[in-house]
Amino acid sequence: MDTKLSLVLFSGTDDKLNAAAVLTAGAAAIGRPVHLFLQYWALDAFRADRMGANHGLAPEAGPQGQAAVTALAAAGQAPWHETLRQAKELGEVEIQACSLSMDLLDINEADLDPLVDGVEGVTAFWLAAGEGQIAFI
């Protein structure tokens, strides 16, 4: 089963980025091609100089949720960008930045972490997505 999976990453908080990374790694592990398209605050999190920073959590996490995430990180859980790096080694994972969001946030390709493979427009994203599965995170 090689249905393509195309994920639009919009949110830039560590919980959503981790959920996206784990879903990507799981899909790649069973041989599915995964295409990530970075928009808005998710794109911002892929700046080379901020990737390892604390990007916060969704507001609903609250202090208890924050404590749980902190404890798991302290126990050695891989951060989302490390999970994505492993997923790229393991399977077919492509990461593209949305050109409109690049303009919005005034980001150049050189500002992005090498995990990002390139920049594409929305039309190119849809053409690549084809008839596969999509999700917005």
Q: By the criterion CB under 8 A, which residues form the site for its own copies?
A: 1, 3, 7-8, 10-13, 15-16, 19, 22-23, 25-27, 29-30, 32, 39-41, 44, 55-56, 58-61, 65, 68-69, 72, 100, 103-106, 121-123, 125-127, 129-137
Cα separation, 2 vs 42, in Å, equals 26
Q: How far, in Å, are 93, 107, 108, 112 from residue 100 at the CA level?
A: 22, 10, 12, 15
Output 18 or 114, the one with its CB closest to its own copies. 18
Output 45 or 95, the one with its CB closest to its own copies. 45
Residue 104 CB, shortest distance to its own copies, in Å, is 5
Residue 27 CB, shortest distance to its own copies, in Å, is 5
Output 111 or 137, the one with its CB closest to its own copies. 137
> Position 17: which residue type?
L
